Structure 1
Amino acid sequence: MNKEQYARLLKDIRDTHKQEDDVSAHIANYKDRFKYIYIYNDSIFKLLFGAPENESVTIDFFNAILERTGSDCIDNLTYTTTTKEEASSRHQQLERISIEIQHEDNKPYCDPLILHSIKHQVTNKYYGDSLWTQDFSHIELLLFDNFTNSKNYRHCEFFEHEEKQYSNLKQSLIFIEISKFLKNNYAYDQSHLAQWIRFIDSINNESPIETLKNSVFSQLEEKAKLCNFTKDFLVSEATKISIFPS
């Protein structure tokens, strides 16, 4: 289901719950109509990509976004919270990765992104520790067009001296304009990241692209089935939202 259909599902569940009607029957009706849940919902995304049991899926997604190949690939994760992960490469160089979904272009990005970097700098730092920092990548999945003057949908920014005499390559901000990619097709782009964006979109549109059995894509497809999400979870999601989009 898409974003609007998922919002309608939660709204109907909330209204049914408030009226003390049969929520289970209501959810069953949606499960008859839709096979998959909306992946880009914040809570759903955290469940699918922030759970240790889905580590192989998350690693593959991160490597696609970060354009890691060969010995530079991330090969394991240590989950520190539901929104941030610590990743290890085969060189055993510890780095931190955070990821967020931005649904609407209705708030500034500069301050939150700077805050992410500062929080990373001070995490696990104590008085007397070395001032050297770990590598840090913050990923923003944008569901709207942000860099309207650029034809690219992937953007990577580093902290850089204004005269380009120095760049801190340890700190990177990566923006993925998902809506731009989907609107402009990018048929020529067969990168792994492009495959990921197309596959998630196919799930959200109830028409999953055929994939190899036991691949990371088939694993995500199985996890994203609406039947996997319990009544308690859906009711909890519905009742914690006070305002739904029209």
Structure 2
Amino acid sequence: MFDFTGKTVLITGASGALGTTLTARFSEAGANTVTAARTGYDQLAAQLHGPSLGVPLDVTSESDWTDAIHQTEARFGPLDILINNAAYLRVGTVESIPLDEFQRVLDTNLTGALLGIRAAAPSMRAAGGGAIVNINSVAGLAAAPDLVAYSSSKWALRGLMRAAAKGLARDNIRVNSVHPGIIETPLAYGPDGNALVPVDDFAIPRNATPDEIAHFILFAASDQARFATGSELIADGGFTLGPLT
């Protein structure tokens, strides 16, 4: 369906459930795939069939970003696609969330994306353009009182996406976001094993598979979406419609 032959993509949070699916799908579509994560990046890259590179990356570290882009360019040339997928979630309300955890969520989900866009833009400019996809959430579209830090970071990420899209438009760099619903990953469950957000009463009463969401992300990164920038693609199974009953 998608052809990324000759394109170089860097995926953050690559060792997570959605990240591993994304790396596999981009690799299968012919991309030079850069797996970026705190741990497991080399092992993940080694499992891919196409050209690949594993790089260590703490998305909150500006020097890590500089090194990751440098390694990418040394191996494959300029970067074409950035997938800002790394995320951190901590359950808590406005009254219960520890302040240091609130800041950690913002640092990972918002500042990490900013640093990624900042680091990737010069490389994409040298390539003549590129595509950046921020992985957002339905928590960035609807109130999530028990996920106040996560929701705050994702709402702010919408503003960052739009500002970056406008600021980089004349460099032929597109910036879009994908808002998944609840994905069947460990992040969907609390420490007690119960679902953080029950979906039984919604239009499509199940969690999404990582593959279903990956297809939306590949579309946003592909030339098939070349007329879209500053856009929000929602793949939530009707979650934002509200319960049917």
Higher-strand-fraction structure: 1
Is this a same-fold pair by TM over 0.5?
A: no
TM-score between both structures, scaled by the size of structure 2: 0.31
* Max Rg structure: 1
TM-score between both structures, scaled by the size of structure 1: 0.31
Between 1 and 2, higher relative CO (CA 8 Å, sep ≥ 6) is seen in: 1
